Amino acid sequence: MIRQLTGSERQLAAIMLGLVAVVGVAMAAAGRNDTMGVHGLIVMLFAGALMYPLFSAIGAPEPTEDREASYYDDPIKVGIVLSMIWAVFGMFMGVWVAAQLAWPGLAFDGAWSTFGRLRPTHTSGVIFGFGGNALIATAFHVVQRTSRARLAGQISPWFVLFGYNLFCVLAVSGYLMGVTQSKEYAEAEWYADLWLVVVWVTFFVLYLRTIARRKEPHIYVANWYFMAFIVVVAILHIVNNLALPISWGSAKSYTVWPGVQDAMVQWWYGHNAVAFFLTAGFLGMLYYYLPVRAQRPIFSYRLSILSFWGITFFYMWAGSHHLHYTALPHWVQTLGMTFSVMLLVPSWASAGNALLTLNGAWHRVRDDATLRFMTAAAIFYGLSTFEGSFLAIRPVNALSHYTDWTVGHVHAGALGWVALITFGSLYTLVPSLWKRERMYSATLVEVHFWLAIAGTLIYVFAMWNSGVIQGLMWRTYTGDGALAYSFVDSLVAMYPYYIARTIGGLLFLIGAIIGCYNMWMTVRAVPETVSRQGDLPVAATVPGE
Amino acid sequence: MDLDHDTVVAFSKSWGLFYLMGFFLCAVVYAFWPANRKRFDRAKNSILDQDDKPWR
């Protein structure tokens, strides 16, 4: 990896790592005994850990081959590995917190291991760690292949990838120490947020510059989705995290948004994180890897354009459906509800487009578990967007809000759509990136698929049941107008569903671990594809062209 | 003009709607513009090429 870099690029990387380490020292000095001091130490260790591979190869001979003749795949490979590590970590934390709800003793009386601290390590671990790394890796892959151009930088892809992972490490380690902004999916504190801005803007510039170098005149639609993901996440992140630290040496900060405006900004962020982090980028994967795997072009390219603009413009307004029956002005709630219902049109356009692409290739879906991963993802995408539009309707929300139904809905999307499309894409990507004939074991892909499906269904059905029961128990009145059940009554009724949920999550986790093993063995044990050097058109091999 | 709550609501309920409809029309026109058909067909088929090298 380091051998691909020229001498001056290696020096630049060393200087950048040195600067990061200096920032770490400054944070440790300013923070002292505050959690920020510990984070300073973590930043130093992170930079030091990256210096090791850099300096062990810094004197190696420079690359002699023409780098522009091939795509830049090293950062993608590392991104896939990081993504799978985060998947196992994040899903394990999910199973643990799920088990804590059934058996509270599993917190082991530690402060760091209470539900409130562990839950964000699960959400950030799977959304940002697993999903984010997969998005960065596939974005780097798709933009190069569809633009027919190499990434527009040698160091910046590494900066984006490792910088992003430093953010994830700071976020997750902070939660365990009790650092939080108390904003859902934006719990990380101000210095981590500032760092993410730097990383994300670099990502944006890198993506734009690569598109600008394209040899293919038309920008394929998957790139539009990835661009929307990058641009909008930058906007959301900056606006929602505007905050003033109580001092330069403290991890604690206060948001600039007061009262109900804070709630509105937070859920504008929160729902668009679902829209642009967990949907737009993954639709980019869907529009590239599904046609490639099925070896059929997308059913309707026009429809993909219309659904792109539909999703981009409708989603922006949907966030206020999280604040039904609150102090938020009624018309803003209604606006959010209306746009959420309208969203069904572009969402189903994408899901239908994906499924119609497979029309005529259903035998492949039957035989190939990787393609089936993506097919199931499209189906779950259709189902969970329908459920989302439905739950956003105010009277429905009166029953579902604050219950496990919401949790079930999120996991229908996160497990059924996001994780399945990611696994399908990675199973397509791993053999092609490492130039292997196939995955190590098709049977294990099949096992992973069925574990993931079974886990998702168990999870979602358990949460539907418990959510509806909760909602009904909370709104049941006796003849004289008092509440029929106490909160604890409803909690006791949840017990079997919480156990079922833990089992569903555990099956999903086991599937992911099997996936890791299968990918590892693919790289280690499957022979490389025989080079097709002799099977190219003559013109392409003429030197000097 | 006084920029109070009602003014902002009135603005978003009128111009907010118009710009959204205008935007929708632009997207539809772009998607169905006859000259774009060839370009779209090429784009959706080009990702299926087996060639895995940047073009020079």
pLDDT tens for each residue of A242-289: 999 999 999 999 999 999 999 999 999 999 999 999 999 999 999 999
Express each pLDDT in A519-530 by its tens digit: 999 999 988 887
pLDDT band (50, 70, 90) for residue A535: low
**DSSP SS3 for A458:** helix
* Cβ A122 vs Cβ A101: under 8 Å: no
Contact A218 B42 (CB under 8 A): yes
8 Å CB contact between A254 and A109:
no
Nearest Cβ partner of A68 from B20, B31, B54? Answer: B54
The predicted structure's pLDDT at residue A537: 53
* Residue A545 touches chain B, beta carbons under 8 Å: yes
Distance from B32 to chain A by nearest Cα, in Å? 7
Report residue A205 as tokens: 């510039």
The partner residue sitting opposite A292, judged by closest CB among B43, B47, B56, is B47
- Mean pLDDT over A199-210 rounds to 98
Which H or E run includes A243? strand A243-245
Domain assignment present for residue B35? The answer is yes
CA–CA gap between residue A284 and residue A54 (Å, rounded): 33
- Residue B52 has a pLDDT of 85
Nearest chain A Cα distance for residue B14, angstroms: 13
A141-169: average pLDDT:
97
Among B23, B41, B53, beta carbon nearest to A69: B53
For residues A348 and A405, is the Cβ–Cβ distance under 8 A? no
* B34–A contact, CB cutoff 8 A: no
pLDDT for res A531: 61
A69:B32 CB<8 A: no
The dihedral built from the CA positions of residue A527, A532, A533 and A534, taken in this order, carries a sign that is positive
Domain contains B34? yes
Chain B: residue nearest A532 by CA? Answer: B51
Q: What is the pLDDT of residues A17-48, one digit of tens each?
A: 999 999 999 999 999 999 999 999 999 999 99
Q: Mean pLDDT over residues A461-471, rounded?
A: 97
Read off the DSSP letter of residue A300: -
Cβ distance A105 to A51 under 8 Å? Answer: no
Please compute the mean of the pLDDT values over residues A51-68 and round it to a whole number.
90
Q: What are φ and ψ of residue A315, in 5° steps?
A: -60, -35
Question: How many angstroms separate the CA atoms of A477 and A492, rounded?
Answer: 18
Residue A478 Cα to chain centre, angstroms: 45
Q: Residue A542's pLDDT is what?
A: 46
What would the mean pLDDT of A497-503 be, rounded to a whole number? 98
Q: Is B41 on the interface with A (CB under 8 A)?
A: yes
pLDDT band per the 50, 70, 90 thresholds, residue A544: very low
A519 phi, psi to nearest 5 deg: -70, -40
A220–B43 C-beta distance less than 8 A: yes
Residue B8 located in a structural domain: no
**What does the angle CA A87 – CA A93 – CA A98 come to, to the nearest 5 degrees?**
125
For A71, the closest of B30, B44, B54 (CB atoms) is B54
Integer CA distances (angstroms), A144 to A147, A151, A207, A220, A544, in order: 5, 6, 10, 11, 23
Say which of B20, B39, B54 has its CB closest to residue A218: B39
Nearest Cα to Cα of residue A512 among A76, A168, A93, A117: A93
For residue A349, the model assigns a pLDDT of 97
Is the pLDDT confidence value at A541 over 80? no
- What pLDDT digit, counting tens, does each position of B15-45 carry? 988 988 899 899 999 999 999 999 999 999 9
**What ipTM was assigned to the predicted interfaces of this complex?**
0.90
Q: What is the mean pLDDT of residues A319-332?
A: 94
Residues of B in contact with A297 (CB under 8 A): 44-45, 47-48
Positive or negative, the CA dihedral A126, A513, A164, A32 is: positive
Chain B residues close to A310, C-beta within 8 Å: 27
From A528, A307, A292, select the one nearest A424 (Cα to Cα): A292
Q: Tell me how far CA of residue A100 lies from CA of A18, A113, A286, B52, B54, in angstroms.
A: 42, 10, 35, 48, 51
Residue in chain B nearest A533 by alpha carbon: B51
The domain of B41 spans 19-46
Minimum distance, in Å, between the CA of residue A235 and any CA atom of chain B: 20
Fill in the DSSP letter of residue A321. Answer: G
Q: How far apart are CA A140 and CA A164, in angstroms?
A: 14
pLDDT at position A523 is 95
Of A72, A89, A110, which is closest to residue A165 (Cα–Cα)?
A: A89
Instruction: Say if residue A545's pLDDT is above 60.
Output: no
Name the residue with tokens 């795509």: A71
- Find out whether A507 and A456 touch, Cβ atoms under 8 Å: no
Rg of chain B in Å (alpha carbons): 21
Q: Give the Cβ contact number of residue A389 at 10 Å.
A: 22
- A144 lies within 8 A of chain B by CB: yes
Q: What six digits make up the tokens of A467?
A: 């959510």
Mean pLDDT, residues A69-80:
96
Residues in chain B: 56
Is the domain spanning A75-246+255-477+484-527 CATH 2.40.30.170? The answer is: no
Number of cross-chain residue pairs from A and B with Cβ atoms under 8 Å apart = 73
The mean predicted confidence, pLDDT, of chain A is: 95
Is residue B24, in this structure, part of any structural domain at all? Answer: yes
Mutate to test the interface with B, among A67, A70, A216, A436 (most CBs of B within 10 A): A216
Domain residue extents for chain A: 1-57, 75-246+255-477+484-527
Structural domain count of chain B: 1
Judge whether B10 is closer than 8 Å to chain A, CB to CB: no
Nearest-neighbour CA in chain B from A243: distance (Å): 25
Residue A356 has pLDDT above 80, yes or no: yes
Instruction: Give start and end residues of each alpha helix (H) in A213-327.
Output: 221-240, 259-272, 281-294, 301-315
Q: DSSP H helical segments within A361-486, as ranges? A: 362-367, 369-391, 394-400, 404-411, 420-433, 442-474
Q: Which residues pair with A254 in a beta bridge?
A: A244
Q: Residue A539 above 60 pLDDT?
A: no
- B44 reaches A (C-beta below 8 A): yes
